[in-house]
Structure 1
Amino acid sequence: MERAKDVQTSLAPEFPSLVKNMLRSHVALGFWLGLPKKFCDLHLPKHNTMVVLEDESGQVWEAKYLAEKVGLSGGWRGFSIAHKLVEGDVVIFQLVSHLKFKVYIIRSKCSDEVDCALGLLKLEAHTKKLDTGDVDAFERETESLELLLEGNPDGNIRKNCSEISVHCDKDSEDIRPEVLDGIRLSDSVIPLEEVKSIADFNILANGLIINSELPKYLQGKYYDLCCSQNAFLHEHLIDGLNCKLVAGIISETINIADAIRASKITTPVDDFATWDKTLKAFEGLGMKVGFLRARLDGLIDIASESKSYENVRVERDNAKEELGVLEAKLSGVKEKMMRLNTEIEALRVNRQKLELKFKKVATASW
């Protein structure tokens, strides 16, 4: 943190910057990066948007800035993984334009990182210090993080919100637990058989309780699905999936389960195929959805059997329609025959008259 502060003070003062100590939730669990609310209120839009993260080498990544949640979500995971960020690293974000951050990484295990970073900056050093209020907030954040680390010699910051808040300075807007929108770290995993009601039902992903990522009614439906199988359906999802992705998988699983229950024998087979393809993808990620796919297989078999009736009925309707066309055509032909018969009779009489006239003309005296 001291080396990060040295780098920060060397940055151009006209561009605002902030420093973030990388916690486990930033780089391993959930990949959610909360930003200081005061900084966001002053310098970032009031609506969700994409921001650009440019590293020291000039490579850029896009990340989703969520205004209400005050932090970076989609895209941050890719940046973190690409730069091999680990717990204890410190990252400096310098807002160099409206929606673009220049990002400097201070490695926790690199003693000369500050020299490397300063060399890459290629900026003139300046002696102007940060505003006193910002320095105080920065000092408080450093002290809070040091207290957390002292109580966690192994670098494990997995504590619940109440434990973290003991170490946080309540007067600082920049210091708050790395828990947003109700997502919180879990102390332990409760087996489903010990869950007696929806009130005790927690959805865990990467050690985080993500109940808040799903509406209450979906939580209830998912609880019923899990109880029906006596297992957490998401329990074996591959490690490291983004919390919002896990919530999306659960939500779509519920939607497909509802769609299966609401389906009819006349439901297009393509719909069944789409649901099965989606569930197969979830199953590949570790979601326990085999029972839903089995239900779909049974419905598809029944629907296929009923398809014979439908095919014959459609064929009969087509034949009936074709017959109607032919009957209409036959009626037209009959009308044409009647008209032609009438014309022929009239022409026959006229021809007889013409023959007599022709003979008279031909045999007349010269």
Structure 2
Amino acid sequence: MSGSAALSRRSLLRLGGVVGLTGTVGAGLVAPFPAVAEPSRTRIDYLDLDPVTSTTRTSREARPVAEFAARTTSAFSTLAVTWTVTDAPAPDVRYRVRRDGRWSDWGPLGDGPVGRVEGTVGPRDGTDPIFVGDCDGVAVRVLDAPAGDVADPQVVLIDPERLASDREVPGDRLGTTAAPARPELTWRGGWGADPNLGSTCRGPNPTLHAAIIHHTAGTNSYTQADSAQIIRGIHAYHTNTLGWCDIGYNFLIDKWGRIFEGRDGSVESNAHGAHAGSWNTDTVGISFMGNYETAAATTAMLESAARLAAWELAPYGRDPESRVTLAGKTIYRIAGHGDVMATACPGRNVIAKMASLRSRTAALIG
């Protein structure tokens, strides 16, 4: 099927649900218009790390070259570290936070440099933004980076205020019997996307060849009421801090299997995302919320990913178990971020499920 034909089918599928509002909407289905949460007011604090000129350590200890000493801060729930772009590899960044009056253990601050997945080089790069819950204190160390490789490091603390609507994030199902049907999802308005963040993105991809699977990293102990807030934090970091036009992922899926529209236009068209560098073109970026290097992906999450991938790939006649060559690499039609870039994403526990994810998607397409 040609790209234009597939796009037309995607548009008609969406219009079919809208027409259903004046005719008959299928049993058990609700109108596909997004419910809109109240706008989110996001606060972002940028705090400079101090250089460490000397330190005493054993031969087995990593050497901190910059640090943000433990201290009280304004309230935040999402954390990242950024630096001025250089050609050096990402540094090893460690953090601890204070939550409910107690300090956590030191832990790694996600993958990086995340800025390279956008496909263009901005003035600053950084770690993944990770959700840490409601915190009011932080300490950060940048370890064992050669002198000059980490320029002007900053701690980024994001507080995408909690909304009353977060406890009942609205979803909707498409009023059509076409197969495979679009799975229930939450539109951008449902998770409280701030319309003042970001700018106009480039036009959509003309076709779709593959789905790239990611994870957001960060905590796995979030609640259902946290999911929308996590996405708002990522959105603020990608746009306000890194200067992207929008959140990078096309879709995000929480551990209960709830699907959230990410980049604007991802439901109606093949929005060009920012998730895999040269492999942003003609792909859809789907991110599992959590760290699946350390936790197992839930059955609900994997099933939702299969249903979403089936709905995305079927109009183009793509076999999820086949391979395609994109940007010089031959990959499966459903591939992990680590299949195209040097990263552990989407985590070993998702990687172990990729074959079954592809086969389930193929079964749904039929």
Q: Give TM-score, length-normalised by structure 2.
A: 0.29
Going by fraction, where is helix more abundant, 1 or 2?
1
Please identify which structure carries the higher strand content.
2
Bigger Rg, structure 1 or 2:
1
Q: Which has the higher contact order (CA 8 A, sep 6+)?
A: 2
Superposition TM-score, scaled by structure 1 size? 0.29
